[in-house]
Structure 1
């Protein structure tokens, strides 16, 4: 059994959808190819239309054209006055941007309106009765090629009418600009007056706010007040530090005094605190002297002695005085401690009050800054609007026209300003129109042709594997075996033959696990070059060492025997109908050593019956076993069932598409039939390609030329060396 569905390529509905979509439009890549193919049609259409335009221009009466330029935005006194004032209306640098395209179009529309042109028509109708508003606008052109400059052109066959119209147009446009300027100035003055009232009120409001803030907080400048508070707080903090140091020292002395007072009077003599007190020290000295006297007298007198009694009374009198002095010293220390503590509390209170005032002053300062800023903004805005009002008043008093004629003499002469070259203009317009018409015609004609012209179109339309691209050649230079052995094949023929080697390699790569042993080559219709492709492919495979059999299965119109230089006496028809041995029918091809050919033989009355027979099926199995590759050349797919019958018993079908001939509808119909029949499709071959040769084809040409050139040089060197040796031997003889 043959593996008939071994390498099928699925033909999904997406392929047909893509093909239909391609029929609906051209992509950008196809447009360039279409224009190149239809270059002659485009050139002819362009030349025809341009010639017709020139002939029409020569038959028309002479046309006169007048023109003048108007500067629409000269520098005015107002502009100079407010050039450096930002945020004002019509400010050149800030608010008013450069004149936009929309503003220019609006101005042009107004200048062409009946309001401006009807007075001109009424003045000229007495002299030119046929002149109307529509005819005047039709030949009037206003453009702006440069900023703030309008170019006015009027064209007519009447030379005097052109001059009169231009003169009146210039006067009308200048007068219009003056009226518009006066109107704009009046509107601007009203606007400025309206805007100044809120500014005056706002300025007064913020001035009142500033005055109230200063009165409520008793300050002139918050920054100065803040500096004073900061200095005052720093001074108070320093005083508090000094007072606390003194208080701590006083408390320490008082504690030390308490310790000393707890001692006996005799032990206090060395105390520095009490010794500093003169009165205390004097009383203490008297007590100590009394004690000494008592001790001295006690050795002489008894206790009842009056002298002893007097001394004891004196001591007892002095002790209360000493106690009073101690109490006074303690009260003095306590008083000073209370005084310093009170001062510390007072300093704390003052410092806290100072911090409170600083915090309050921060809020006041922020409000002050906000009022100052708003006051400055209001003052500047009022100043700007006042300046603007003065400038507008000056501008209103002036009668100078804001628009200026760049050359006033151009509108005062009665001679034609310019004579247009109608022939040149019509030639340019006609050429452009003809080019566009030619391009459109080329696209339509190419679309209606419904033909594939490039391999990329074929690949994009079908989304099927493109096995190879065969360049278009007028004559296929097929070298014979003798020519190949003698090396007379030129580089072009060798490189063209290399395309088929690459094609066969691509077919081999389709079956990486099991090689492809047989295939059918067919096409959608006649003239696609399938027989040529089959012959060249067989020759390429044989040249690569394969044992190849080329079978002419086109029993309706056999032609392979003519291509390979054989006779069609016996062939496939005789093998099937007369039970001839196929070994006796095949013949070696003169083109390649491993290539064999089975001609078609006599044309049978019913080729389909022969190809569908069991004998044909058995024959195909034997041939596939006996040869490395069997190629069947069949009739076209459309209208004939031969190719489908054979492809079912091979590894697949190769479809040849002749570029420049194959129609999209024919290919679509053939693909639909292949899908319905379930025929395994290996891929497509784009034949007769007029595109640039594939990169591999170009590289092979360069390589072949370099190789041939190198071999030629080497041969010349060998010949020269041989001649030189022969000459040397002759001389020696």
Structure 2
């Protein structure tokens, strides 16, 4: 037979050391909550004990009397009086609170308390400054308010009355005596602050006057508007002048082109046609040309009349040329004049722009001076008004502080008697609760036991195949479970093991898991119960399952499944019996077969380590879909290690509430050293985990019962023969 494939789990040093790391790292919030729930009785006991002791102590202690009164105060600092209404001053939201802190320090100083001690020491010799301060509490009645609450406590009732009365009188006198000096300091402060303000106002007034005188202006904005208007006017004039230049240049070019033509072709010239003198000379030349043409038909060229006409024309042509030159010079003169004017306008605009730029600097300086002058004037005005208000306040004689309860000094009874019993009960309860929580954490830490699956998973960082809820009736489960359809309550719990078996199957994605060893670190973790329930779940899912009781030291599976332990594993190995004759079909499940342990041998390790045992394990794995070996605990016994090396691996059952951390750490180290294939862990007896709801399964089975009943009746007749044959072939 082929040896079983091993599915090893990497128990690296990091995983093996995780127990130590977790122990040193402490508990998280979830673990703390679980610890407090487990140790609630210890916490309640310590809390109740300390609270009771505190109450008893309060009843035996002498009563403590409390004298209290409240004083309405106002700010006492001179500078605060000055700047509290100044808008430019930076406000402080906590100013009232800071003022009260300063006031409290003054009221507790030797300056205020020493006169009281001198008056009361003849009557109370034990009264000192330190004892008075230790028993005196001064605090604001309202946060950031102006009401001070004064409390004095002592076990002498009359002493409380006397001290409270003198304290109230001393605090009122203190406020009345210091008022005048405070106002004088405030007035002095105002006067000192006014002097530099007066100088600043004069300085900026002189600066403003000099600026206006040097630049010959009153208002820079008005001057800027005037310059802007002049610049706009000159620019418009410059634009018009340039348009006129362009027109003259164009007409001049037209004139030059016309002058190139013959005199007879210039009649239509628009420029020369506007010159009357040129037109008269041109008309005379044209008239002479007409007469020459007319008389040339009558006279010969050498005729005196023809000669006269030609002379007259020759006389007119120089005159025409002179007139053309004069017209050209006139155009040139006008163009030069307009160009000179354009240059003059450009210079004027540049000068004005320079003036505007200079004015901008002047205007900025003017605005800065105006702003500084206004700030100085405002400050001077405010300090002047504050000085007048302080002088008015100085003339008044009203007391600044006042008692909210004027009858306090006339009372002959203590204002309040403190309830020590209630206070001690609260303090004792709080202290007891804290000590109880600390004791619970310490006791739980020293117990060194796993209590939850989450704690087990976070501590070991190893695969957790499933979590089995705590069910006390499963300690003897197996024989009491009937075949057929499970009851809803039983089925809801049975689903936990179906899921567990499915998780185990998923571990062997390449090669199916055919055999495994179920063991635990010590006794009482529930490994045998897990083995039976897991075998039932696999058999109910259609697998041929063999459950082998390999615990040859203390066999118990036969009692749990309701079988006799006459012959078993010991007989197969030691007497060469055929294993087919030893296994029995379980009364719990049709596909579940059981091989009991048989008689207890003198040396179980020798039998399990034999070659016969290895051959038997190979035969069993080849004949069944799944073989489950229930073995002794791992600590102190080698049985499980011997068997696990010939299976797909070992499944470790951790009994929550019983398994110690040190035991689990030792087992994991032994598994790692031995190289035993490790599949994962099962958290058993979990109080936090619950199976699927009973109501859910009850409703499910009610809905499916009718359809299942009809289906069974129809199918039973047609499948009876096939079912019988299938059972015969599966029976070993």
TM-score range, shorter chain: 0.7 to 0.9
User: Which residue in 2 is equivalent to 1:142?
Assistant: 138
CA apart distance, 1:432: 1.6
CA apart distance, 1:460: 0.3
User: Which residue in 2 is equivalent to 1:91?
Assistant: none
User: Which residue in 2 is equivalent to 1:472?
Assistant: 470
Cα distance between partner residues in 2 of 1:405 and 1:6: 90
Pick the aligned partner of 1:355 from 353, 356, 374.
353
User: Which residue in 2 is equivalent to 1:221?
Assistant: 219
User: Which residue in 1 is equivalent to 2:605?
Assistant: 608
For residues 449-498 of structure 1, the C-alpha deviation after alignment (integer angstroms, 9 at most, x for no partner) is 111110000000001111111111222287778964575x5432222222
Q: How has the CA–CA distance of structure 1 residues 568 and 340 changed in structure 2, closer, same or farther, with 3 Å as cutoff?
A: closer
For residues 514-552 of structure 1, the C-alpha deviation after alignment (integer angstroms, 9 at most, x for no partner) is 221111111111111111111222222222222222222
Pick the aligned partner of 2:120 from 117, 121, 124.
124
Pick the aligned partner of 2:433 from 407, 432, 435.
435
Cα distance between partner residues in 2 of 1:356 and 1:394: 57
* Residue correspondence of structure 1 range 236-255 to structure 2 within 5 A: 236-243=234-241
The alignment partner of 1:416 has SS state of coil
User: Which residue in 2 is equivalent to 1:85?
Assistant: 86
For residues 6-51 of structure 1, the C-alpha deviation after alignment (integer angstroms, 9 at most, x for no partner) is 2111111112322112222111110100111111111122122111
User: Which residue in 2 is equivalent to 1:627?
Assistant: 624
For residues 208-259 of structure 1, the C-alpha deviation after alignment (integer angstroms, 9 at most, x for no partner) is 3222222222111111111111222233334444555666667778888999
Farther off after superposition, 535-544 or 674-683 = 535-544
Cα distance between partner residues in 1 of 2:317 and 2:228: 56
* Residue correspondence of structure 1 range 120-199 to structure 2 within 5 A: 120-144=116-140, 145-148=142-145, 149-177=147-175, 189=187, 191-199=189-197
Q: How has the CA–CA distance of structure 1 residues 481 and 632 changed in structure 2, closer, same or farther, with 3 Å as cutoff?
A: closer
Cα distance between partner residues in 1 of 2:612 and 2:346: 128
User: Which residue in 2 is equivalent to 1:308?
Assistant: none
Pick the aligned partner of 2:682 from 681, 685, 688.
685
CA apart distance, 1:661: 0.9
User: Which residue in 1 is equivalent to 2:52?
Assistant: 51
Contact 1:23 1:450 in 2 (8 A): no
Contact 1:68 1:411 in 2 (8 A): no
User: Which residue in 1 is equivalent to 2:552?
Assistant: 555
User: Which residue in 1 is equivalent to 2:295?
Assistant: none
Cα distance between partner residues in 1 of 2:704 and 2:278: 142
1:66 aligns with 2:60: no
* Residue correspondence of structure 1 range 251-400 to structure 2 within 5 A: 341-395=339-393, 400=398
Contact 2:97 2:144 in 1 (8 A): no
Contact 2:79 2:186 in 1 (8 A): no
Cα distance between partner residues in 1 of 2:645 and 2:458: 27
Contact 1:74 1:403 in 2 (8 A): no
Q: How has the CA–CA distance of structure 1 residues 715 and 527 changed in structure 2, closer, same or farther, with 3 Å as cutoff?
A: closer
Cα distance between partner residues in 1 of 2:532 and 2:255: 138
* Residue correspondence of structure 1 range 381-460 to structure 2 within 5 A: 381-395=379-393, 400-460=398-458
Q: How has the CA–CA distance of structure 1 residues 466 and 114 changed in structure 2, closer, same or farther, with 3 Å as cutoff?
A: farther
* Residue correspondence of structure 1 range 528-567 to structure 2 within 5 A: 528-567=525-564
Cα distance between partner residues in 2 of 1:472 and 1:388: 83
The alignment partner of 2:692 has SS state of helix
CA apart distance, 1:292: 13
User: Which residue in 2 is equivalent to 1:18?
Assistant: 18
Cα distance between partner residues in 2 of 1:368 and 1:508: 93
Cα distance between partner residues in 2 of 1:246 and 1:586: 131
Farther off after superposition, 212-221 or 401-410 = 401-410
Farther off after superposition, 271-280 or 20-29 = 271-280
TM-score (norm: length of structure 1): 0.82
* Residue correspondence of structure 1 range 559-598 to structure 2 within 5 A: 559-598=556-595
CA apart distance, 1:59: 2.0
Q: How has the CA–CA distance of structure 1 residues 278 and 566 changed in structure 2, closer, same or farther, with 3 Å as cutoff?
A: closer
Contact 1:50 1:429 in 2 (8 A): yes
Contact 2:78 2:185 in 1 (8 A): no
User: Which residue in 1 is equivalent to 2:715?
Assistant: none
The alignment partner of 1:630 has SS state of strand
1:698 aligns with 2:699: no
Cα distance between partner residues in 2 of 1:611 and 1:499: 31
The alignment partner of 1:475 has SS state of helix
The alignment partner of 2:46 has SS state of helix
Contact 1:480 1:592 in 2 (8 A): no
Contact 2:187 2:391 in 1 (8 A): yes
Cα distance between partner residues in 2 of 1:118 and 1:189: 30
For residues 352-404 of structure 1, the C-alpha deviation after alignment (integer angstroms, 9 at most, x for no partner) is 22222122222222222222222223333333344444445555555555444
Q: How has the CA–CA distance of structure 1 residues 248 and 138 changed in structure 2, closer, same or farther, with 3 Å as cutoff?
A: closer
Cα distance between partner residues in 2 of 1:533 and 1:292: 148
Number of equivalent positions:
703
Q: How has the CA–CA distance of structure 1 residues 132 and 557 changed in structure 2, closer, same or farther, with 3 Å as cutoff?
A: farther
Contact 2:77 2:182 in 1 (8 A): no
For residues 288-309 of structure 1, the C-alpha deviation after alignment (integer angstroms, 9 at most, x for no partner) is 999999xxxxx9xxx9x9xxxx
Contact 1:4 1:652 in 2 (8 A): no
CA apart distance, 1:126: 1.9
CA apart distance, 1:414: 2.2
For residues 42-87 of structure 1, the C-alpha deviation after alignment (integer angstroms, 9 at most, x for no partner) is 1122122111222222222233222223344479999899766312
Cα distance between partner residues in 1 of 2:186 and 2:474: 87
Q: How has the CA–CA distance of structure 1 residues 286 and 174 changed in structure 2, closer, same or farther, with 3 Å as cutoff?
A: same
User: Which residue in 1 is equivalent to 2:716?
Assistant: none
Cα distance between partner residues in 2 of 1:469 and 1:643: 22
User: Which residue in 2 is equivalent to 1:96?
Assistant: 92
TM-score (norm: length of structure 2): 0.82
Contact 1:5 1:680 in 2 (8 A): no
Cα distance between partner residues in 2 of 1:386 and 1:77: 16
Q: How has the CA–CA distance of structure 1 residues 230 and 584 changed in structure 2, closer, same or farther, with 3 Å as cutoff?
A: same
Cα distance between partner residues in 1 of 2:161 and 2:19: 64
Contact 2:82 2:190 in 1 (8 A): no
Farther off after superposition, 572-581 or 666-675 = 572-581
Contact 2:208 2:366 in 1 (8 A): yes
User: Which residue in 2 is equivalent to 1:707?
Assistant: 700
Pick the aligned partner of 1:673 from 670, 679, 694.
670
1:515 aligns with 2:508: no
CA apart distance, 1:678: 1.0
The alignment partner of 2:472 has SS state of coil
Cα distance between partner residues in 2 of 1:113 and 1:20: 58
Contact 1:81 1:391 in 2 (8 A): no
